[in-house]
Every structure is written in C-alpha cells, then in structure tokens.
Amino acid sequence: MGRQRGGPRRRGGGLVREDVVLDGGAPEATGVEEDYYWRRLGGELALKDLGPATYLELHQQCYEAWNVNPIAAAIIEMTTSFVLGKGVTIEAGHKRVQRLLQTFWNEPSNRMDERIYDLCQELALYGEIFVRFFVNPYDGAVRVRLIDPSLIDVIETDPEDVETPRRFHRRSIGHDAEATLIQATPAGGLASGDGEWLSAGSEVVQFAINKVSNAKRGRSDLATLLPWLRRYKDWLTDRVRINKYKGAFLWDVQLTGADKKTIERKRIEYSYPPEPGSVILHNEAEKWNAVQPAINANDAREDGRAIKLMIAVGAGLPEHYLSDSSQGNRATAAEMGLPALLRFQRRQKILKHIVRTILDRVILEAQRAGQLGRTVDTRYDILFPEIDCSDHQVLASAMESLVSALGSARQQGWVSDETAMRLLFQLVGAEVDVHAEREKIAQQEVRHATR
C-alpha cells in the first residue's frame, strides 16, 4: 500500500493528515488522541520518533496536565519524592575532590540541592532533559542550566549510530515552532532557519527515558495517560454536576379554574420564590408541589474506579497510591507496591548516571584549569536514599538465622568466607564488593593491632 498524499484519511473516527513532511521525509500523523502514535502508511519504518508537531503537542499537553490535573501532578511528584527523598549526598575519597564537588554543589548559581529535584521532575514530565554547561575558562568553574526540550527541534546523530548525538539545534525563543522557516541540514534532517547549533557533550548533554534504542527523543511518563486523565476528570465533573442538580427543585403551582388574567397576576405575585422555612397560605384553588429533576443516576463508582485503574496501570502505581485504599488489605497493598518501588529504584540509577555525568565534567574542567592535579584519586560515590519495602523485623530475624547457619557451614568447610559474605549481603539487598570489603576488614585489623 502506497502513501496517501495531498489530503486527509479517516482512521479511528478521526482525520489524519499525511501531507506534512517531517525530519527525514516521514509524513506527520495528527488527529485525535488515539492517532498520536500512528505514523505512516509507508516510508522509513526504522524512524521511531514522533513528528515535530505531534511531539510539541504532546509536550504541551503533558505540561498542562501537570499544572491542572491533580492525579497527573501526584504521579510526577510521587516519582520525585520516592527517587530523591531528602536528597543525595556526595562522598569522595580525596579531600580536594570532596571540596571541589561540594563547592560546585553549593554554588548559588547551581543550587544543586534544589536543582536535583528539577532534574528528576522534568525528566519524568518531559521524558528527556538537556543539560547545558557553562565553563569559566580561567578557573574551570562549571555552571549548569536546563534547556526546555520543546526548543530543541533537531538532534543530529552519527549516521552509523543513532545513540551518539553530534549536535542539537535550539530554535530561537519567541518564534512559533510551526511558523518558523524550515531548511534542510547536511545530515538530511530539517531545522528551523534561526536559532543555534549546540555541540553534544561539550556544550549540551541529553538524557532521555521511555524510548527505544533507535529513537532520538524521550517520552513523558504522562504521555500514555493523557486520554485517561482527561476522561477521569470529565467523569468527575459530570458526577459533580449530577449531584448538584439532584439537590435542585422548583415549585409547581396549580390554579384551579383560573383564567389567563388570573394566571398572569399570580405569576407576578410569585415572581420571587418563598424563602426556605417560610409558610405558604392559600385556598383550595391553589396546589403547591416541590418538583425535583428525575435524573435517576445510578451509582457509577465502579466506572470511575475502572478509569482510575487504567491510569494506575499506565503509571506503574498500585491503586492505593492514587488515594483509593478501599480495595484489599495491608498485606495486599505491600505486595502491590513492590513493582512500583522497583521502578523507582530503576529511576534512581538513571538519576545517578545524570549526576555522575555532571560531576565528572566538573572534575575534568578543574583538571584542565589546573585546580586539581591529574594524579589525584578522583573516585567518589553518590548516595541516594534507600527505597525499601521490606519488614525490618522479619529481615532481622532471617539475617540472624542466616548468620548462624553460615557460621556452622564455614566451620564444616562447606562454604568460603567470600561466599558467606556474598549470601549475607544478598539477603539485605546491598551491592557490596566482597573482595574490597575483605581488604577494608584486613586494614582495620592492622590498625587495631598497631594501637
């Protein structure tokens, strides 16, 4: 089947334009929300990125949902809170390296104690962040800033390796992205006629999530949830309106044997309804009845829960995380929370990579400027708050039993010290280098022996 050109076609109840050419010659797919991730009838199937217009539309919708939708804001905030908690700490083995990193971290222009939360929040909200470095050529001081991903309209990569970016095109602020002049780039892509190119690595570093290996752009944690967030909001709005109208009523006044003139006179007389609690006096020719609207709305609780479950599944969160604890018990809730906590742990690794990339650049620029010797031990560690859902009392009991069993097995010659230590650390979920830990123990014993 060939690609349709020059007009719209119908799919899923909506119209989708196929006549707009995108980066690399791929047609853009726009239309209703169900059409966002449909790309083309033909063309290059290896291109997995959305078209520029679709990307910008989803980017804006995710931002608006985060601003106005409480559930969307809670999903992003929950991710940030679990991943970062009270913050991260940096520990370096050398004092000069520790001082250098702390100086960068606490620099007022960087505010890394606060910016680290922005990094995590915008990564979840936008699906990607662009970190720009500003380096003082005299003392090697580094200042970092975030670029709005919607301003990056082209990512030029190695023709043989899409995972290796070469430069990023940043369009000018204040120019309409759709109305900006588009021109071809040497790599065969499209870029706006104004703006600037930023070198990848030296000037800007991109970090993206929720994407496949051959895509250039990341995807927001809210991208697949947008239709269901909107439906749940609309459902709640309808329920509020129904409940409001169920409490409304009007007075029906029946006049027996009244002519038109009498009806008009009574209409003027009763133009203002009686106050609540007032007494109505009339003769047998009038009948007053309070009439309520016959809405007959059934309990739609399960309908709302079904929509919220769809949101919870898409966000990778258990139902009780979204303020619904009516289902299940404590044990069930603890088991349901495990996949979400593992997801937060995986996001911690991504944030750790981002922070390490930034700090490595700080050390490199300090060495180039002569502020730090190249022979100095530059190793350091980034400590994130622990995400643990285990029962510590049960864990302590199991650890006590394991230590006793491993001690007996060691005496019988069934296991080595290294194996016993590895099993012990696996129980508590700690990633420890057994050989390095044994060296530390040996050094500690030597220090104690010399005292």
pTM of the full predicted structure?
0.69
Predicted local distance difference test score (pLDDT) of residue 393 = 59
pLDDT at 6: 39
pLDDT recorded at residue 401: 79
**E strand residue ranges, 244-378:** 250-255, 286-291
How far is Cα 322 from Cα 306, in angstroms, rounded to an integer? Answer: 13
Q: Please say whether the beta carbons of 208 and 128 come within 8 A.
A: yes
pLDDT of 34 reads 55
Q: Are residues 158 and 166 in contact, defined by beta-carbon separation less than 8 angstroms?
A: yes
Per the listing, tokens 């334009």 go with 17
pLDDT in the model for residue 199: 94
pLDDT tens-digit readout, 359-417: 999 999 999 999 998 899 999 999 998 876 555 555 566 667 777 887 888 788 888 87
User: So what's the pLDDT on residue 32?
Assistant: 55
State the Cα–Cα distance between residues 239 and 302, nearest whole angstrom: 13
Tokens 């899923």, residue?
Answer: 12
Place of tokens 């009007």: 250
Structure confidence at residue 294 (pLDDT):
66
Residues of the chain under the 70 pLDDT cut: 1-47, 174-193, 246-247, 293-300, 323-337, 388-399, 428-429, 451
Q: Are 322 and 312 in contact (CB under 8 A)?
A: yes
Identity at 1, one-letter amino acid code: M
**Nearest C-alpha neighbor of 331 from the set 399, 398, 389:** 389
pLDDT at 62: 93
Residue 80: other Cβ atoms inside 10 A: 23
Q: CA 421 to CA 237: how far, in whole Å?
A: 58
Quick count: other Cβ atoms within 10 Å of Cβ 390?
13
Q: Which pLDDT does position 124 carry in this prediction? A: 95
Task: Report the alpha-carbon distance of residue 130 to residue 400 in Å, rounded.
Answer: 47
